[in-house]
Amino acid sequence: MGDQIVLEEELKMGAASNDFVRHEAVTGSNNVAQDPDPQPHDGLEAILNGGHLPSAELEEAIRLIYGKRLPQLAIDSSISDHAKENNFQIFGYQMKAQVEQLRRPRKVRIAGIQNKIVLPTTAPIGEQRDAIFRRVGQMIEAAALAGANIIGLQEAWTMPFAFCTRERLPWTEFAESAENGPSTKLMKQLAAKHGVVIISPILERDEEKDDVIWNTAVVISHTGNVIGKSRKNHIPRVGDFNESTYYMESTLGHPVFETAFGKIGINICYGRHHPQNWMMYALNGAEIIFNPSATVNGLSESLWPIEARNAAIANHVFTVGINRVGSEVFPNEFTSGDGKPAHKMFGHFYGSSYIAGPDGTRTPGLSRTQEGIIICEADLNLCRQTKDAWGFRMTQRLPDYAKELTEVSQSDYRPKIIKEI
């Protein structure tokens, strides 16, 4: 037991539903996926738990990959049993800070939810959306019962990630008002019922400004009120990620939302590849930065385990990387000008959601094939303690970089390269 990075009960739960997940991917039993995941393992954690490494070597691997072995957060057996019966994972961990004399601990339970679409993409739009609502609502209930205070969902959680197709209809029918659309109404109810903050990333239809579409995260207070919204700052033009066909870069900057449980920023998906994006949320006061994402194997999977962790370290914050899971097939073939044959499947969304702390520790990730909830009880005092220990904010020399970045942003700028004469 001590040689493994997750509890034996969790391993059994993963094994119990693993056959179902792989069968679904190969046979398309619910018409969501028709091709198997090219790498059908359940994730890094499953590999480490395979019993191949001697105890001492496993501990060293854990130290290098996760910073250290984190204590686990006890989750009531009734919640774990409910998750198992409904084929999703729920894991909990703790990130502790040192006890201070003048400040009380600021413990908050942060949760991230990764989910699949439920119905095939050929089903009526309303039915697809309502099925996802029911599924994610069920998982939010479980996270809340496990004590979560802040719950973050994945990018565009209300719909298939159809932006590969470049088709407008029917996919733009998923777009909705951030303030009073159907998903926001549902999230407001759940937030008020459980006293939790919910980060709800959606495809937004800005009904007050020419019906323009945005990639948006809505922040809903524990009171059930909408605090505000943040939008995607960086739009990919990589492979099948043809998102600029639908929406462009945010004009809202880097807003931070003060909630009852901490100050929150939302760095949506592709923005995680831009260190300045993380930095600006931190400079604006964020203590927790969510990264709701939708990214596929073969493109970013080797980057995923380190990017949110790096950002947590560099900015003295907690980060929450949330990636959707499963394979999505669309009715019509599409291409993306990359020389690949026309295809109907975007790729495999590999999940693996995790939470990282300012001291460089991170939780193990969720499965790369199963839906799940990752929860971390974090003491936000760790942000300042790490800031004092490492001093990155004190030593980052913003005025110097501001001057040089201003110069670089000018159209007549030329790189300052010194050559031998």
- CA 284 to each of CA 6, 254, 281, 287, 288: distance values in angstroms, whole numbers, following the listed order: 35, 7, 5, 10, 11
Catalytic residue among 10, 24, 45, 155: 155
8 is catalytic: no
Reduce the DSSP state of residue 322 to 3 states and report it: strand
Question: Residues with Cβ < 8 Å from 24, sequence gap 6 or more?
Answer: 30, 32, 33
Angle at 293 between CA 288 and CA 297, to 5 degrees: 130
Residue 117 token pair: 């679409």
User: Catalytic: which of 204, 232, 263, 377?
Assistant: 232
Q: Which of 131, 148, 138, 145 has the alpha carbon at shortest distance from 320?
A: 148
Q: Give Cβ neighbours of residue 419 (< 8 Å, ≥ 6 apart).
A: none
For 30-161, list the strands marked E by DSSP: 88-95, 107-114, 150-153
Two structure tokens written together for 119: 């119905």
Please give the backbone phi and psi of residue 276, each rounded to the nearest 5 degrees, phi first. Answer: -65, -30
Handedness of CA 326, 318, 305, 275 (dihedral sign): positive
164 C-beta neighbours (distance < 10 Å), count = 25
Q: Which of 164, 269, 376, 383 is catalytic?
A: 269
| Lookup: tokens for 36 | 């198997």
Residues ≥6 apart with Cβ < 8 Å to 22: 36, 40, 369
CB contact at 8 A, 356 and 305: no
Name 176's bridge partners: 204
Helix (H, G, I), strand (E, B) or coil at 5: coil
Residue 155 bears catalytic tag: yes
Q: Can 301 be counted among the known catalytic residues?
A: no
Decide: 355 and 318 in contact? Cβ < 8 Å: yes
Question: Which residues are annotated as catalytic?
Answer: 155, 232, 269
